[in-house]
Amino acid sequence: MGATWAFRLAVIAALIMLGVATLMAITAPPCNPLPMSTLTAFELVRSVADLQRIFGMPGDACRAALAPQLDHANLIDTVAYIPAYTAFFGLTAYALGRRDRALGWIAVILALGNAVADVFENLGMFALSAAPDEASPWLMGLIVSTNAKWIGLAIVTTLCGVMLARRGGLGWLALIACAAPLVSSIGALIAPDAMGQYLITGMTVASVVLLGVGVVGAVWKRAAA
Protein backbone atom coordinates (compact mmCIF):
# COMPACT_ATOMS: atom_id res chain seq x y z
CA MET A 1 0.00 0.00 0.00
CA GLY A 2 1.32 3.42 -0.95
CA ALA A 3 1.54 6.47 1.27
CA THR A 4 -1.40 8.23 -0.40
CA TRP A 5 -3.85 5.45 0.36
CA ALA A 6 -2.46 5.01 3.86
CA PHE A 7 -3.10 8.70 4.53
CA ARG A 8 -6.63 8.41 3.11
CA LEU A 9 -7.45 5.47 5.36
CA ALA A 10 -5.89 7.30 8.31
CA VAL A 11 -8.20 10.28 7.73
CA ILE A 12 -11.22 7.96 7.60
CA ALA A 13 -10.09 6.35 10.87
CA ALA A 14 -9.74 9.80 12.45
CA LEU A 15 -13.30 10.71 11.44
CA ILE A 16 -14.58 7.45 12.92
CA MET A 17 -12.57 8.16 16.07
CA LEU A 18 -14.18 11.61 16.42
CA GLY A 19 -17.65 10.18 15.89
CA VAL A 20 -17.16 7.38 18.42
CA ALA A 21 -15.85 9.86 21.01
CA THR A 22 -19.26 11.54 21.11
CA LEU A 23 -20.73 8.25 22.38
CA MET A 24 -18.37 8.14 25.36
CA ALA A 25 -19.53 11.25 27.24
CA ILE A 26 -19.80 11.00 31.04
CA THR A 27 -22.67 13.20 32.24
CA ALA A 28 -22.99 11.89 35.80
CA PRO A 29 -20.80 13.93 38.16
CA PRO A 30 -18.04 12.25 40.20
CA CYS A 31 -18.73 11.83 43.89
CA ASN A 32 -15.99 14.34 44.77
CA PRO A 33 -14.34 17.22 42.86
CA LEU A 34 -11.64 16.12 40.43
CA PRO A 35 -8.84 18.14 38.77
CA MET A 36 -9.54 16.48 35.39
CA SER A 37 -12.25 14.58 33.53
CA THR A 38 -13.78 11.63 35.37
CA LEU A 39 -12.60 9.09 32.81
CA THR A 40 -9.02 10.38 32.87
CA ALA A 41 -9.04 10.44 36.67
CA PHE A 42 -10.20 6.81 36.66
CA GLU A 43 -7.32 5.87 34.36
CA LEU A 44 -4.84 7.54 36.72
CA VAL A 45 -5.98 6.07 40.05
CA ARG A 46 -3.19 4.84 42.30
CA SER A 47 -5.07 3.61 45.39
CA VAL A 48 -8.44 2.63 46.82
CA ALA A 49 -8.67 6.20 48.17
CA ASP A 50 -8.37 7.50 44.61
CA LEU A 51 -11.17 5.17 43.54
CA GLN A 52 -13.39 6.34 46.38
CA ARG A 53 -12.72 9.95 45.45
CA ILE A 54 -14.36 9.16 42.13
CA PHE A 55 -17.00 6.63 43.17
CA GLY A 56 -17.74 7.81 46.70
CA MET A 57 -18.41 5.49 49.58
CA PRO A 58 -20.58 2.34 49.53
CA GLY A 59 -24.23 3.28 49.21
CA ASP A 60 -23.65 6.78 47.86
CA ALA A 61 -26.24 7.68 45.24
CA CYS A 62 -23.60 9.22 42.99
CA ARG A 63 -21.92 5.83 42.58
CA ALA A 64 -25.08 4.22 41.24
CA ALA A 65 -25.33 6.87 38.51
CA LEU A 66 -21.64 7.11 37.64
CA ALA A 67 -20.43 3.50 37.47
CA PRO A 68 -22.73 2.40 34.59
CA GLN A 69 -21.69 5.42 32.51
CA LEU A 70 -18.00 4.70 33.02
CA ASP A 71 -18.56 1.05 32.08
CA HIS A 72 -20.48 2.14 28.97
CA ALA A 73 -17.69 4.52 27.93
CA ASN A 74 -15.07 1.81 28.43
CA LEU A 75 -17.14 -0.67 26.42
CA ILE A 76 -17.38 1.77 23.49
CA ASP A 77 -13.68 2.45 23.91
CA THR A 78 -12.83 -1.25 23.69
CA VAL A 79 -14.96 -2.19 20.70
CA ALA A 80 -14.69 0.98 18.59
CA TYR A 81 -12.44 3.80 19.84
CA ILE A 82 -9.29 1.73 20.37
CA PRO A 83 -9.45 0.18 16.86
CA ALA A 84 -10.12 3.63 15.33
CA TYR A 85 -7.27 5.49 16.99
CA THR A 86 -4.89 2.57 16.48
CA ALA A 87 -5.70 2.65 12.77
CA PHE A 88 -5.22 6.42 12.66
CA PHE A 89 -1.82 6.49 14.34
CA GLY A 90 -0.64 3.25 12.78
CA LEU A 91 -1.57 4.23 9.22
CA THR A 92 -0.12 7.72 9.66
CA ALA A 93 3.14 6.25 10.90
CA TYR A 94 3.13 3.75 8.03
CA ALA A 95 2.59 6.51 5.46
CA LEU A 96 5.32 8.73 6.91
CA GLY A 97 7.57 5.70 7.12
CA ARG A 98 7.60 5.17 3.37
CA ARG A 99 10.53 7.63 3.42
CA ASP A 100 11.94 6.51 6.79
CA ARG A 101 11.13 2.84 7.06
CA ALA A 102 12.91 1.97 10.31
CA LEU A 103 11.19 4.68 12.34
CA GLY A 104 7.92 4.07 10.54
CA TRP A 105 7.78 0.38 11.40
CA ILE A 106 8.82 1.02 15.00
CA ALA A 107 5.93 3.49 15.33
CA VAL A 108 3.46 1.07 13.72
CA ILE A 109 4.47 -1.76 16.06
CA LEU A 110 4.22 0.55 19.07
CA ALA A 111 0.74 1.70 17.98
CA LEU A 112 -0.42 -1.93 17.90
CA GLY A 113 1.17 -2.61 21.29
CA ASN A 114 -0.57 0.42 22.75
CA ALA A 115 -3.91 -1.01 21.68
CA VAL A 116 -3.18 -4.17 23.67
CA ALA A 117 -2.22 -2.08 26.71
CA ASP A 118 -5.44 -0.08 26.37
CA VAL A 119 -7.56 -3.24 26.32
CA PHE A 120 -5.89 -4.40 29.55
CA GLU A 121 -6.49 -0.93 30.98
CA ASN A 122 -10.20 -1.25 30.26
CA LEU A 123 -10.35 -4.74 31.77
CA GLY A 124 -8.89 -3.26 34.94
CA MET A 125 -11.39 -0.41 34.93
CA PHE A 126 -14.31 -2.82 34.53
CA ALA A 127 -13.06 -4.83 37.51
CA LEU A 128 -12.42 -1.78 39.69
CA SER A 129 -15.71 -0.05 38.93
CA ALA A 130 -17.50 -3.19 40.14
CA ALA A 131 -15.58 -3.20 43.46
CA PRO A 132 -13.95 0.21 44.08
CA ASP A 133 -13.67 -0.32 47.84
CA GLU A 134 -11.42 -3.37 47.75
CA ALA A 135 -7.68 -3.66 47.21
CA SER A 136 -7.23 -5.65 44.00
CA PRO A 137 -4.39 -6.83 41.74
CA TRP A 138 -6.27 -5.02 38.99
CA LEU A 139 -5.18 -1.73 40.56
CA MET A 140 -1.51 -2.40 39.79
CA GLY A 141 -2.51 -3.77 36.40
CA LEU A 142 -4.34 -0.53 35.65
CA ILE A 143 -1.36 1.57 36.71
CA VAL A 144 1.04 -0.38 34.47
CA SER A 145 -1.25 -0.57 31.43
CA THR A 146 -2.32 3.08 31.63
CA ASN A 147 1.22 4.39 31.79
CA ALA A 148 2.33 2.02 29.03
CA LYS A 149 -0.52 3.22 26.82
CA TRP A 150 -0.05 6.96 27.31
CA ILE A 151 3.73 6.97 27.09
CA GLY A 152 3.64 4.51 24.19
CA LEU A 153 1.22 6.71 22.25
CA ALA A 154 3.41 9.72 23.01
CA ILE A 155 6.42 7.92 21.58
CA VAL A 156 4.40 7.09 18.44
CA THR A 157 3.41 10.73 17.88
CA THR A 158 6.96 11.89 18.63
CA LEU A 159 8.40 9.44 16.09
CA CYS A 160 5.92 10.77 13.54
CA GLY A 161 7.18 14.25 14.37
CA VAL A 162 10.77 13.14 13.87
CA MET A 163 9.88 11.76 10.45
CA LEU A 164 8.20 15.05 9.53
CA ALA A 165 11.20 17.04 10.77
CA ARG A 166 13.50 14.94 8.58
CA ARG A 167 11.56 16.13 5.56
CA GLY A 168 12.92 19.62 6.19
CA GLY A 169 11.11 22.95 5.93
CA LEU A 170 8.76 23.61 8.83
CA GLY A 171 8.82 19.99 9.90
CA TRP A 172 10.55 20.98 13.15
CA LEU A 173 7.35 22.78 14.19
CA ALA A 174 5.45 19.53 13.67
CA LEU A 175 8.03 17.75 15.82
CA ILE A 176 7.41 20.17 18.69
CA ALA A 177 3.64 19.65 18.45
CA CYS A 178 3.95 15.88 18.08
CA ALA A 179 6.19 15.71 21.17
CA ALA A 180 3.58 17.48 23.34
CA PRO A 181 2.04 14.16 24.49
CA LEU A 182 5.45 12.98 25.67
CA VAL A 183 5.67 15.95 28.04
CA SER A 184 2.10 15.55 29.33
CA SER A 185 2.27 11.76 29.72
CA ILE A 186 5.56 11.80 31.63
CA GLY A 187 4.19 14.64 33.75
CA ALA A 188 1.04 12.63 34.52
CA LEU A 189 3.17 9.62 35.45
CA ILE A 190 5.10 11.72 37.96
CA ALA A 191 2.26 13.90 39.26
CA PRO A 192 -1.18 12.53 38.24
CA ASP A 193 -3.28 15.19 39.98
CA ALA A 194 -1.25 18.13 38.70
CA MET A 195 -0.59 16.93 35.14
CA GLY A 196 -3.41 14.50 34.36
CA GLN A 197 -5.59 17.32 33.06
CA TYR A 198 -3.07 17.91 30.26
CA LEU A 199 -3.04 14.35 28.91
CA ILE A 200 -5.91 14.90 26.48
CA THR A 201 -4.65 18.37 25.56
CA GLY A 202 -1.21 17.09 24.61
CA MET A 203 -2.60 14.22 22.57
CA THR A 204 -5.09 16.53 20.85
CA VAL A 205 -2.32 18.90 19.74
CA ALA A 206 -0.34 16.07 18.17
CA SER A 207 -3.43 14.44 16.65
CA VAL A 208 -4.57 17.65 14.98
CA VAL A 209 -1.15 18.11 13.38
CA LEU A 210 -1.04 14.51 12.17
CA LEU A 211 -4.60 14.75 10.86
CA GLY A 212 -3.61 17.85 8.91
CA VAL A 213 -0.63 15.98 7.48
CA GLY A 214 -2.94 13.09 6.61
CA VAL A 215 -5.43 15.32 4.80
CA VAL A 216 -2.66 16.92 2.74
CA GLY A 217 -1.10 13.55 1.98
CA ALA A 218 -4.47 12.09 1.04
CA VAL A 219 -5.22 14.68 -1.64
CA TRP A 220 -1.73 15.65 -2.79
CA LYS A 221 0.28 12.71 -4.06
CA ARG A 222 3.49 14.68 -4.24
CA ALA A 223 3.27 15.47 -0.50
CA ALA A 224 2.63 11.82 0.30
CA ALA A 225 5.63 10.78 -1.72
Q: What is the arithmetic mean of pLDDT over 23-40?
A: 92
Q: Write the single-letter amino acid at 203.
A: M
List, in order, residues 6 or more apart from 133 with CB less than 8 Å away.
48, 51, 52, 57, 58
List, in order, residues 6 or more apart from 170 with CB less than 8 Å away.
none
- pLDDT of res. 127: 94
Q: What's the chain's average pLDDT?
A: 91
Q: What is the DSSP letter of 26?
A: -
- At 69-87, the pLDDT tens digits run 999 999 999 999 999 999 9
Residue 35 confidence (pLDDT) above 70:
yes
- At 45-64, the pLDDT tens digits run 999 999 999 998 888 888 99
Residue 4 confidence (pLDDT) above 90:
no
The domain ranges of the chain are 3-224
Residue 2 confidence class, pLDDT cut points 50, 70, 90: confident
Whole-prediction pTM: 0.89
